Structure 1
Amino acid sequence: MIKNIFPTPSDTSKALVRHILELINSSNKEVFNIALSGGSTPALMFDIWADEFSDATPWQRIRFYWVDERCVAPDDSQSNYRMTREHLFNRVPVNPDNVFRIMGENNPEEEAERYSALVARQVPIVEGLPVFDVVLLGAGDDGHTSSIFPGQENLLTTENVYAVGTHPTSGQQRVALTGQPIMRALNIIFLMTGASKAPILQSFADEADSGPAAYIVHHSLREVEIFADEAAAE
């Protein structure tokens, strides 16, 4: 595990954007496949990307996918796609043909199958699973990641690329990238800010797989990188 700690959420987000751009620019690939995380934490990063790094970004080379999506319409306030569109895509010259959203308005099981097939057609396959260049993850206070919640650890080992996860409190269904393709990504990055993330970051350092996020850190094929602010790293 590689920890990158910065004073504030803004500093952390800025460093992460720079890191992603370095990965893209150092690659000789014509297409760079990134799976984006949802939730509230990446919004600041997307704002900074649009405001400060748009001109430095080779938008034509990047294909954007999602790690997970709530089963809602794309204009719903809970939509991860809507959040990314408002904070990033509407403000930069990205080609809409390079943005592949999970259709949360569709039947969840059918959409998981459709999106799995789409990713399999476009992302390089190694040993039967797609290998993203970057998978950007967050971690909930309960230790979940990619809508893989505690008690749904079968999604960490399933052979399906995307599957349906269920929020344990609200019962809301979500289409989620499963553990096996996450752990095979070339670059697995957690973005974590705020004091509420400190126990989760501590769980990464512990040996026990105390939740899905910790499991990813402990079992990934490559070393996981953490971008965190000082509050999360306390």
Structure 2
Amino acid sequence: MEIRTFQSANEVAKEAANYIADRIRENLTKKGFFTMAISGGRTPWEMIKELANEDLEWEKVFLFQVDERVAPDGHADRNLTQLFNTIQDTKLMTRLNIFPMHVIAEDLDQACQDYADNIQRITETGKLDLVHLGMGSDGHTASLIPGDEVLEILDKNVALTGNPYQGRQRMTLTYPLINDAEKILWVVTGEEKAEMLERLLLKDTSIPAGKINQTHAILLTEESAAVKIC
């Protein structure tokens, strides 16, 4: 895995936006469209703001969610709410193709299958061009939570967590789909992530993040998170 370390989280966000923009241009030239999945949590929103400044053919970009909390539309807990708040005054609000996880569906298992089908249909190959991941201080990534039965699901590309995590059940992309992505972009900031970041790079499979394929991955981090790997 390629590693790039910066002095601040703001610099990481700018570099992440630049990296995604380069991958968009590359894929638009190669095949005419680009597919990516973005995680929630605290890390992506500054990255998205920076990305919105790029002059790109956004109509040819398809954005999926890596994970989402089961909560009502517009709820502050929803990653989609945070995404819309971030892009509401930018060109992305009307030009980007956004595919929300349907976490208010009556049949959430069917909603998972429908979401997986949408990814298959849009990507044509079943492979996302880029998956953006963060990591929690407990080693979780996406909503692949330590000790949860979702970690064992290998026959579905989208699934539900077995138990609530931080008060909410989640819908998440699973290992097979994430690990099959053309590129995986890790964005990890904060000194509380230092131990888990070290374990990630050691491919420690006792934490969920350690089971992610590192062959086509890049890590963007900042100095306080990288103290154990420098």
TM-score between both structures, scaled by the size of structure 1: 0.88
Q: Show structure 1 runs of 5+ residues with no match.
A: none
Find the aligned partners of 1:32 and 1:223 in 2 and give their Cα distance. 17
Give the Cα separation in 1 of the matches to 2:152 and 2:181: 14
Provide the rounded CA distance (Å) in 2 between the counterparts of 1:99 and 1:6.
Answer: 30
Q: Secondary structure at the match of 1:19?
A: helix
Q: What corresponds to 1:229 in structure 2?
A: 222
Counterpart position of 1:165: 161
Residues 36-115 of structure 1: pairs in structure 2 closer than 5 A: 36-50=38-52, 53-54=53-54, 56-95=55-94, 98-107=97-106, 108-115=108-115
Quote the Cα distance in structure 2 between the aligned partners of 1:20 and 1:194: 21
Contact 2:71 2:168 in 1 (8 A): no
Contact persistence 1:36–1:66 (CA under 8 A) = yes
Q: Distance in 2 between matches of 1:192 and 1:207?
A: 16
Over residues 119-142 of structure 1, what are the superposed CA-to-partner deviations in whole Å (9 max), with x where a residue is unaligned? Answer: 1221232xxxx2000000111111
Letter in 2 for 1:68: D
1:31 & 1:24 partners in 2: Cα distance?
Answer: 8
Distance 1:96 1:74 in 2: 21
> In the alignment, is the contact (CA less than 8 A) between 1:201 and 1:232 conserved in 2?
yes
Q: 1:131 to 1:212 in 2, by over 3 A?
A: same
Mean Cα deviation higher: 130-139 or 107-116: 107-116
After TM superposition, the structure 1 = structure 2 runs for residues 131-170 of structure 1, keeping only pairs within 5 Å, are 131-152=127-148, 154-155=150-151, 157-166=153-162, 169-170=165-166
Q: Distance in 2 between matches of 1:105 and 1:154?
A: 19
Q: Which residue of 2 is the match for residue 2 of structure 1? A: 2
Q: Is the 8 A contact 1:59 1:94 kept in 2?
A: no
Change (3 A) 1:144 1:231: same
Contact 1:69 1:79 in 2 (8 A): yes
Question: What letter corresponds to residue 21 of structure 2 in structure 1?
Answer: L
In percent, how many aligned pairs have the same letter?
Answer: 27
Aligned to 2:119: 119
- Aligned counterparts of 1:201 and 1:7: Cα–Cα separation in 2: 16
When normalised by structure 2's length, the TM-score is 0.90
CA RMSD of aligned residues (A): 1.9
Aligned residues: 224
User: How far did residue 221 of structure 1 move?
Assistant: 6.9
Aligned residue type for 1:223: H
Q: Output the CA distance in 1 between the equivalents of 2:203 and 2:63.
A: 33
| Alignment partners' CA distance in 2, 1:26 and 1:156 | 34
Structure 2: gaps spanning 5 or more residues: none
Contact kept, 8 Å, 2:87 with 2:93, in 1: the verdict is no
CA separation of 1:155/1:231 partners in 2, compared to 1, >3 Å: closer, same or farther? same
Kept in 2: contact 1:70–1:172 (CA 8 A) = yes
Q: Secondary structure at the match of 1:26?
A: helix
